[in-house]
Amino acid sequence: MSLLYVIEQLNNMENPKRENRQRVANIVLENNIFFKHLVTITFDVENKVSIKAAWILEWICTHHNLEWIIPHLDEFTSKINTLQFDSAIRPCAKICEHLANAYYAKTNNEVKKHLTTHHIDTIIETGFDWLITPQKIAVRAYTMNALYFFGLEKDWVHPELKHLIETKIIFESKGTKARGKYILDLIEKHRKTTL
């Protein structure tokens, strides 16, 4: 019943306008069992309703509470590489960026306690896949940010990211060029502080 109800609410969304995303998010926020269904539907990658589920998943993680994703990190990180629709990849890339930001935040938070090395490795691997395949600018931007943060501890990430930016990403569009240069500057600053 509840899974079908969530699917029905997603199908009733005509477009991703703020009020539509907030309306469905409110339904999920009022009954948190629906959040698990949202994660499941997001990774039903053959079904176009998965796009709408990804919109709501990201909306809740961005505008309400990122920590709602914590009990679902195993499923989220193990399945993000299966996403096929651009419109589902973008919100999931944004969630990965939020996880990286929270993990490296100065203040203590639940993400730091629950995001494991395995989760991080899976996000990194998927992030590099997203950078070497045709993706929208937003996916590239969110992914470069996440990889920069995770590269603070994983020595091999920054050199690989730098190489991809300099040889591929920086030539794609004005947006990716600007973000790429920004990330290259961060990598260089970090390199200098660790010498």
| pLDDT band at 1; cut points 50, 70, 90 | low
Asked whether the predicted pLDDT for residue 2 surpasses 90, the reply is: no
Asked whether the predicted pLDDT for residue 163 surpasses 90, the reply is: yes
Provide the angle, in degrees to the nearest 10, between the axes of the packed helices 2-11 and 18-30: 170
How do residues 70-100 score in pLDDT, each as one tens digit? 999 999 999 999 999 999 999 999 999 999 9
Q: pTM value?
A: 0.94
Measured distance CA(92)–CA(175) in Å, rounded:
19
The string of DSSP letters for 35-72 reads HHHHHHHHT-TTSTHHHHHHHHHHHHHHHT-GGGGGGG
What spatial distance separates the first Cα and last Cα of the chain, rounded to whole Å? 58
Report DSSP state, residue 173.
Answer: -
Question: By the 8 A CB rule, do 75 and 39 touch?
Answer: yes
